[in-house]
Amino acid sequence: MERDKIFIGDYELDYYSINTLIIGSGAASLNAAVSLHLMEQEDIIIATAQWGGGTSNNAGSDKQTYYKLSLAGDEPDSATKMAEDLFNGKCMHGDIALCEAQGSVAGFMNLIRLGVSFPQNRYGAWVGYKTDHDPRARASSAGPYTSQKMFEALAAEVKRRKIKIIDRLQVITLLTSEEKGVKKIAGALAINLKAKETRKAFVIFNSVNVVLGTGGPGGMYENSVYPLSQSGSSGMAYEAGATGQNLTESQFGIASVKFRWNLSGSYQQVIPRYFSTDKNGKDEKEFLNEFFPDITALSKAVFLKGYQWPFDPCKIEDHGSSLIDLLVYRESVYKNRRVFLDYTRNPTWNKEQKFSVDRLDPVVLNYLKNSEALGDTPFKRLESMNRPAIDLYLHNNIDISKEPLEISVCAQHNNGGLKGNIWWESDLKHLFPVGEANGSHGVYRPGGSSLNSGQVGSYRAALFISRHYLQEPPDRQTFMSKIKNQAEKNLNLASLFLASKSKPSNDTFLEEIRHRMSSCGGIIRNKEKVEIAVSEACAELKILKKKLSAKDVRELAGTFLLIDLFLTHYIYLEAIKIYIEEGGRSRGSYLVTDSRGYHPEGIPESDWNFTICRYDREIENKILEIKYKQETVEKVLVKVRPVPDQELWFEKVWKKNLEDNLSDS
């Protein structure tokens, strides 16, 4: 590692020369750092805008799930079966699915070694349960804060190994070079958020590799359960030339808004009461009642929402669990009312049909009996089933034994993201997107598979780097000759923002992004509205930089982040537009309106008809790849690669290991 100062124009920059720059401090980034260090590559730096500020350390649910191969009981399982189940979620490459399945046990056991307390029985069986889109009981959990415990364990290991961390450093640009027609990473430009002077606020990295672990685009949505500190920064990767895939595929679900948290699992299985009020908290109404035939059907739908938590248009008909998401969305967005979950009282119906155990569907009753959770209120049932789920809110100054939770249908996870190969390397060479920044998932995915993917993918990225990309970075003169124009462009832009007298607040543009995405890229997507949104976003993107301003280092960093988010939301809306225009129908966690389709029973809105995707159209059964090039979006439809046959003859695999060509690309 080399550290120095360099000067570009009026700016004095801190300069680092290293093998690998890791951006972000989530569980995937930290695992990449630890894995590289284990593989004897110590020339690494972790750069993060806020240590522990990402989704890993700040998100969860009733019992946050980690999805891995079954390791208990007598139900047969294998890596191939798990890969096939991941692959069957549609639009996921089979070789990626196989890597995630094959690496799941090693990733899980590494976390146990580091101290994450996944439960086991007295015989050492790592017990599991079924999660959404899971045909076997592969799920495990360390409680509501599973990913936080992963972060804490990995962070402790990073510090024990004395891996260099630069906190309060926001990377704003990925620097690239080109050799023999192949574009690759050359480094990055960042802003030191602790700097006192804007002239000395910039940091430049000369690096062979960049591991990008900055999470999903949480900052794009108005209704979001992403932590406030989680914005995402994939825009700089698209700007640098990396390709995105499956950007249409996000997950949405019911979450609390005062304290951002997913209300899945036992939060729903104890059957809380849903009600809405006007904006002043008056005119209380149990709005679900008019859309269900009886209390039995209503309580079953609420119960099923526990392990069918993400909104799914396939689960609307016949009073399915996702009808609830649709009705919550209608109540809050269309009728402009506030919606709540109440754990102090059972749902009411009428005098003839009061809530009682006798009226529960057998599936619901058996589950609550087996969980020893037949208390006479939702709170008592939750207390019996999952006390930590109550304590979590108490720790955030909310007592659900006394007050209801205000809720909304929120963006929770992006199944798409940056394209990567089986080593998690982008088509922009030497860039390794890991965690949610990597778009490895397809349309559907088992709950908790994202945590597994982050651990497996970051390990595989580290393995590939350690086998192929260990060279020293170029000398300073060579590096500067390749990236000086890119650095100057961004520094000149900074000078423009600092000198600007523009009136509009940057927050105004952020509100615009979030409203546009939640209105047109949320659970209901309308072709005409999406087309208008794309047109508006495209027009504003071209003139955005002329309208922005900053007066200090903090605002300057915020301005660059805004540009990143604006570009990202434009690219995502373009992907949604392409999908709908080419005949894509409702799937995953969103409904595409179609006047010729099914109309949800009882809902008066005439424009909510939809047709379920049957994967018999090219746009539906291929992966949509998106590239941002010369201020336009280019699309390619790619055939999904099947789960590959593996070479499992021991002597052949052993030989490859001995010859050190296991990770040949």
b/e burial code for range 82-118 (CB count within 10 A of at least 16 → b): bbbbbbebbbbbbbbbbbbbbbbbebbebbeebebeb
Q: Which helix (H) or strand (E) holds 296?
A: helix 295-304
Q: Which helix (H) or strand (E) holds 371?
A: none
Q: Who contacts 132 (Cβ-Cβ below 8 Å, separation ≥6)? A: 307, 308, 309, 310, 446, 447
Residue 657 pLDDT class (50, 70, 90 cuts): confident
pLDDT for 661 equals: 77
Mean pLDDT of 385-403: 95
The answer on pLDDT for 504 being more than 80 is no
The answer on pLDDT for 369 being more than 80 is yes
Q: Which helix (H) or strand (E) holds 199?
A: none
Residue 396 pLDDT class (50, 70, 90 cuts): very high
pLDDT for 120 equals: 95
Question: Helix, strand, or coil here: 110?
Answer: helix
Interval 570-601: pLDDT, tens = 999 999 999 999 999 999 999 999 999 999 98
Interval 627-655: pLDDT, tens = 999 889 999 999 999 999 998 999 989 99
pLDDT for 292 equals: 95
Round to whole Å and give the CA distance between 331 and 173: 41
By C-alpha distance, which of 62, 35, 60 is closest to 46? 35
pLDDT for 351 equals: 65
Q: Does residue 657 or residue 478 have the better pLDDT? A: 478
What is the greatest pairwise CA distance in the chain? 83
Question: Helix, strand, or coil here: 530?
Answer: helix
By C-alpha distance, which of 115, 33, 96, 47 is closest to 453? 96
Start-to-end CA span in the chain (Å): 27
pLDDT for 350 equals: 75
pLDDT for 607 equals: 86
Interval 3-60: pLDDT, tens = 999 999 999 999 999 999 999 999 999 999 999 999 999 999 999 999 999 899 999 8
Nearest 5°: the CA angle 139, 312, 103 is: 30
Could you list the beta-strand ranges (E) of 477-590.
Answer: 524-525
The answer on pLDDT for 199 being more than 80 is yes
Interval 145-182: pLDDT, tens = 999 999 999 999 999 999 999 999 999 999 999 988 89
- CB count in 10 Å sphere of residue 583: 13
Question: Helix, strand, or coil here: 181?
Answer: coil
Measured CA to CA in angstroms, residue 216 lies from 24, 47, 203 at distances of 12, 17, 24
Extents of the domains making up the chain:
263-400
Mean pLDDT of 559-566: 97
Q: Does residue 395 or residue 605 have the better pLDDT? A: 395
Phi/psi for 79 (5° steps) reads -60, -35
DSSP labels, 404-465: PEEEEEEEEEES-EE---TT---SSBTEEE-GGGB----S---TTHHHHHHHHHHHHHHHHH
The answer on pLDDT for 506 being more than 60 is yes
**Mean pLDDT (the chain, rounded):** 95
Of the given ranges (238-242, 505-509, 592-596), which has the lowest mean pLDDT? 505-509
pLDDT for 315 equals: 97
Q: pLDDT > 70: what percent of the chain?
A: 99
Mean pLDDT of 384-406: 96
Residue 664 pLDDT class (50, 70, 90 cuts): low
pLDDT for 400 equals: 98
By C-alpha distance, which of 349, 321, 345 is closest to 409? 321
Round to whole Å and give the CA distance between 76 and 215: 34
Q: Who contacts 36 (Cβ-Cβ below 8 Å, separation ≥6)? A: 20, 42, 44, 462, 465, 466
Round to whole Å and give the CA distance between 458 and 464: 10
Round to whole Å and give the CA distance between 18 and 172: 18
pTM recorded for the entire structure: 0.96
Residue 116 pLDDT class (50, 70, 90 cuts): very high
Tokens found for residue 361: 């569907």
Tokens found for residue 304: 């099923």
